[in-house]
Amino acid sequence: MTYDAVRSPAEGLAHHPLVGRPGKVLALHLNYPSRIAQRGRTPAKPSYFLKPVTSLAATGETVERPPGAELLAFEGEVALIIGSRARRIAPEDGWSHVAAVTAANDLGVYDLRVADKGSNLRSKGGDGYTPLGPASIPAAEIDPAVLRVRTWVNGEQVQDDSAGTVVFPFGELIADLSQLITLEPGDVVLTGTPAGSSVIEPGDVVEVEVDVPGTEHRTGRLRTSVVEGTEPLPEYSAQPAVDDRQRAEAWGSREAAGLEPSFELTEDLIAKLHRVGVATLSAQLRKHGYNQLSIDGLRSNKPGSKLIGRARTLRFVPHREDLFRSHGGGYNAQKRTFDSLGSGDVLVVEARGERGSGTVGDILALRAQVLGAAGIVTDGGVRDYSAVGELDIPTFSGGPHPAVLGRKHVPWDSDITVGCGGATVQPGDVIVGDDDGVLVIPPALLAEVLDSAIEQEAEEAWIAARVAEGAAVEGLYPLTGEWRRRYEAEREA
């Protein structure tokens, strides 16, 4: 297939860099690490959705935001145009089946996502929701890893990323799709968008360009104008509906959407947490009606250390030979999760209290430390226990065990609600640990519980001073009567 053939316009789609009429348009959900970081979930394998061929549009055309909708979003992407039939090919052969690349805008209406429960049919399949062009770059002349995608909204650049950063290389995507779906000449594969995707409104102009920096290989700018639709959806069609989660995802963050920022474990809160013990926090949680927030049966390999951070979670399921063969080797969920840790994260591992196998060792613990994680909590065993103990990062566990993961566990999934040491832990929960144990604190409770705990610590310090002076504990601990009045007076002073 020649470059000229690739650049020839498709019937009814002037200036399109397509071969005839494409049979299908396939789009990838997540691929760029910058976008994955925004979404807060790391895909183990690529996942896709279909876009109708009727969603294709050329440069310079308009796209409608449906009446009643507020969240039309752009996504600048690299589009691959298939040049030869691909069926069950190997990853190293994937790129040879691509004739050319061009710029794409994977437009979508977040207001309609709920209508099709993940298929994206209506939210991303509307007429004109897949502009491509204006020109293409021959695949045989470039290394796909050097491609760059950039997007501008009303002349201001909002996206800029390199295909060299993607989690799933383009040739691998072609091979993966070809295992069950025959790719044919003219098919289009959208390869994911980087961070910077956001909401656009009627009157806005979006431009996307793909190029190889420092060369003449470029697509030119794909230009799309947004207009307000005039035909409302009839009653028998699903109507636009949004919530704050959809707003945050469409805009890229809660702050960009004008929403109250999500909970942040600030330096001030961390400083306060360092002032109070886990035992005091536990007592205050009980006073607030929470009796099941202790992660039981664990011990620290760094006595005297304090653990404070936000929960990230990892779940192991009981060992099964076939599942370990499919999920236990290679870059499995355990390794991916450790690689994704960030500053202040505490990795909480659900190992079902099974201590007869290691759930973390010195290499992964070191990786967590290098990435700035605040600690590791597992109700399973720890390999290389002494070596892990020599690291700066605190680890709370069921104790040492020399066996490898595959003896009792299969690494399964991450960043979900888990059970650890009898406590339910959700991603984002506040985790606090010291020599008395480990607690889970729901973020919404933290400020109130923490202030009460600080007051309790001050009160108990005053009581301890009186006991040291020789006072009996009757009426003093807990404070009642005259002792209470004396304490309040000194506190006011």
Question: Does 448 score more than 90 pLDDT?
Answer: no
- Tell me how crowded residue 237 is: count the other CB atoms within 10 A of its CB: 11
Report pTM.
0.60
What is the per-residue pLDDT for 9? 32
Torsion angle defined by CA atoms of residues 16, 21, 24 and 29, in that order, rounded to the nearest 10 degrees: 0
- Tell me how crowded residue 99 is: count the other CB atoms within 10 A of its CB: 25
Q: Where are the alpha helices (DSSP H) in 165-232?
A: 170-178
Digit-coded pLDDT (tens) for 145-192: 999 999 999 999 999 999 999 999 999 999 999 999 999 999 999 999
Which ranges in the chain are annotated with CATH 3.90.850.10? 3-251
**Are 228 and 70 in contact, with CB atoms under 8 Å apart?**
no
Q: Where are the beta strands (DSSP E) in 163-243?
A: 188-190, 199-200, 205-211, 222-228
DSSP 75-89: -EEEEEEE-S-BSS-
- The mean of the pLDDT values for the chain is 91
Question: Does 273 score more than 80 pLDDT?
Answer: yes
Digit-coded pLDDT (tens) for 73-130: 999 999 999 999 999 999 999 999 999 999 999 999 999 998 887 789 999 999 999 9
For residue 200, which phi and psi values (nearest 5 degrees)?
-125, 160
3-251 adopts what CATH topology?
A: Fumarylacetoacetate hydrolase; domain 2 (3.90.850)
Question: Does 46 score more than 50 pLDDT?
Answer: yes
What is the per-residue pLDDT for 373? 96
Rounded Cα distance, 383 and 87, in Å: 44
Please, what CATH class does the domain formed by 291-441 belong to?
alpha beta
Amino acid letter, residue 157: Q
More confident residue, 42 or 284: 284
- Tell me how crowded residue 493 is: count the other CB atoms within 10 A of its CB: 5
Digit-coded pLDDT (tens) for 313-345: 999 999 999 999 999 888 899 999 999 999 999
What is the per-residue pLDDT for 197? 96
Task: Give the containing element (helix H, strand E) for 350.
Answer: strand 345-350
Which ranges in the chain are annotated with CATH 3.50.30.40? 291-441
Question: Does 260 score more than 90 pLDDT?
Answer: no
In the DSSP assignment, the letter for residue 152 is E
Alpha-carbon separation of residue 445 from 163, 273, 298 (angstroms): 42, 13, 24
Rounded Cα distance, 138 and 226, in Å: 30
- Tell me how crowded residue 141 is: count the other CB atoms within 10 A of its CB: 11
Rounded Cα distance, 378 and 375, in Å: 10
**Are 347 and 316 in contact, with CB atoms under 8 Å apart?**
no
Kindly report whether the peptide bond that precedes residue 478 is cis, defined as omega within 30 degrees of 0.
yes
Pairing of strands 307-318, 345-350: parallel
What is the per-residue pLDDT for 14? 38
Torsion angle defined by CA atoms of residues 100, 101, 107 and 110, in that order, rounded to the nearest 10 degrees: 100
